[in-house]
Amino acid sequence: MNPDFHRALTARERLTGTWISIGHPAVGEMSAQLGFDYVVVDTEHTSTSVSELEDVIRAVEAAEGDTAPLVRVPSHDPGRVKRVLDAGAVGLMFPMVETAEEAEDIVAAMRYPPEGVRGVAPARASDYGRSLGEYFAGANDGLVTITQIETRRGVENAAEIAAVDGVDAIQIGQGDLSASLGAFGDWGAKDFQGAVDDVVEAAHAADVPVGMLALNHDGIDRWLDAGVDFMQVGADMVYLTEGAKAAKAHFEDAVDG
């Protein structure tokens, strides 16, 4: 666990992270060495297994610093939640949350009884059982629960979702949200901008921080201007493809020139 990260996030500190889609320990290690407050390892749109994920988390923790390993899970399935938390994630991000009832079920999956339904067993998160009592005592209040709002219905219910006890933060999934509104990738669309404003306003009214993913400098500025509190300021696949593309273009221009 990383209670300091939980406190900083819920205090709406300006935390910066990066997005990991390439489920290899080296990517997690390099990201943590750069001093990010956290990383988000995506397992919704990737083939990363729980075993591979555990190695990425291990690499993040082994690097110098206090980078918190967060994971976006593919669904709200309590069984999956349990396995990923047991692997050592200090927080989970849940996609496509549309109602307060879904948020309540998510919080229950994150928490041990009597507050929730998470099963208890020795695992990596509790030093394979050596610190199970200590982990059990601190997990319910120390782990981070982030719900993603990615649809029109989620926007409509944003205030109710933010009000659920145990929801620590809301992440706006701009890609799916813009698609839901019929304006995929059009960040200037009136409906999309209005939806972002509505979510930020609803979350902040409940003193809940809002996060987003930015893939370039313009995105960082745009989402900060929108009132976002914490941000993933890039993604491994974008770093790789854009960096390689720029280097290739520079070489070709130099040769042709």
Question: Which candidate in 6, 24, 45, 204 is catalytic?
Answer: 45
- Segment holding 237, helix H or strand E: helix 236-256
In whole angstroms, what separates CA 76 from the centre of its chain?
A: 14
Tell me how long the chain is: 257
> Per the structure block, which two tokens stand in for 148?
């993603």
CA 246/CA 243 separation, integer angstroms: 5
Q: Which tokens go with 38?
A: 């956290």
38-42 and 16-20 beta bridge pairing: parallel
Q: 92 CB contacts (<8 Å, ≥6 apart)?
A: 70, 71, 72, 73, 81, 84, 85, 110, 143, 144, 145, 146
Q: Supply the DSSP symbol for 172.
A: E
**How would you label 53-77 residue by residue, b for 16+ Cβ within 10 Å and e otherwise?**
bbbbbbbbbebeeebbbbbbbeebe
* 29 Cα distance to chain centroid: 17
45 is catalytic: yes
- Residues annotated as part of the active site: 45
